[in-house]
Amino acid sequence: MSAEALSAAPEQEDKPPEAKPAAAKMSDKAADKPSDASAVGEKPKKQRRPSAKALVREIEERIGHTFKNPTLLKTALTHVSALKPSQNRTDSYQRLEFLGDHVLGLIVSDMLYGAFPKADEGEMSKRLADLVRKEACVDVAKSLGLHENIKLGTVGAGVGARLRNSIVGDICEAVIGAIFLDGGYDAAEQFVLRNWTERMRRPVRPLRDPKTVLQEWAQGKGLPTPSYREVERTGPHHDPRFRVAVDLPGLTSAEGIGSSKRAAEKAAASALLSREGVSGGKDA
């Protein structure tokens, strides 16, 4: 800028900066300083768990039955490992599972009789075995989210995946038993119809020799060929009964009974497959 320009420019007075009000200063400091909550890293609040009544209503909506006696549902979902020392095994799902297993068999048999009027006894037996097997019950239980509601104790919570699947299938049958006791045959039938009709319409799976299925499963796990041993023979010579055990390394033996060694071996293989949650091991 030229000297003339500088001289022509009006002189500006040096004014001291205006003092801010005390409230403004405090707000500036508050903006610069992190809040106490953020400074200490406040954790987000945990979501409240639903009340027991709310959880029961949620489960009832999923299974499609409102219990007049909700204790039955609670018992059906309680594993023996969750019982208190003052309780006994009858307060777990086991008795309801026994009942539900037979109720399921009856209802599915009735469904098959009406749905396949030209099927003979052999075909209906195969279809029945396929529909009430443990794997089918596990599928239904998981589709309804029941596996998320099983009450397990410390021991039960540490079970392996195979045993847990077995428990899930048992729980499904226990729920059927609970519905039957609470609402009668009609209520149980409606539950089974909703969850088994589509499965019933599927083509029946060919049934395979359980000994073959077990051997293939063992090989897939890197295990040796299963070994069978006679545990006991009873009955007269013309009508013997054999009890046979099947052994695989790392697994508890399973036993089966039959009128011949071959039949007992197949029963033992089927029992081990069922316990391990392996499908396809039903004898034809």
The residues annotated as belonging to the active site are 101, 173
Task: Give the pLDDT confidence of 53-84 residue by residue, as tens digits.
Answer: 888 899 999 999 999 999 999 999 988 777 67
Domains in the chain, CATH or no CATH each = 52-201 (1.10.1520.10), 210-275 (3.30.160.20)
Burial 45-80 (b: 16+ CB within 10 A, else e): eeeeeeeeeeebeebeeebebebeebebbbbbbbbb
* The pLDDT of residue 207: 60
The structure tokens listed for 128 are: 């029945």
d(C-alpha 278, C-alpha 61), whole Å: 31
* The pLDDT of residue 80: 76
Contact (CB, 8 A) for 200 and 127? yes
* The pLDDT of residue 284: 44
- Which residues are paired to 241 by β-bridges? 234
What is the mean pLDDT for each group of 10 consecutive residues in the chain (284 residues)? 42 49 48 48 60 87 95 89 71 91 96 92 86 90 89 58 72 96 97 95 73 90 94 87 94 92 91 80 52
Contact (CB, 8 A) for 122 and 152? no
* The pLDDT of residue 2: 42
Contact (CB, 8 A) for 108 and 196? yes
Instruction: Quote the distance between the C-alpha of residue 10 and its chain's center.
Output: 87
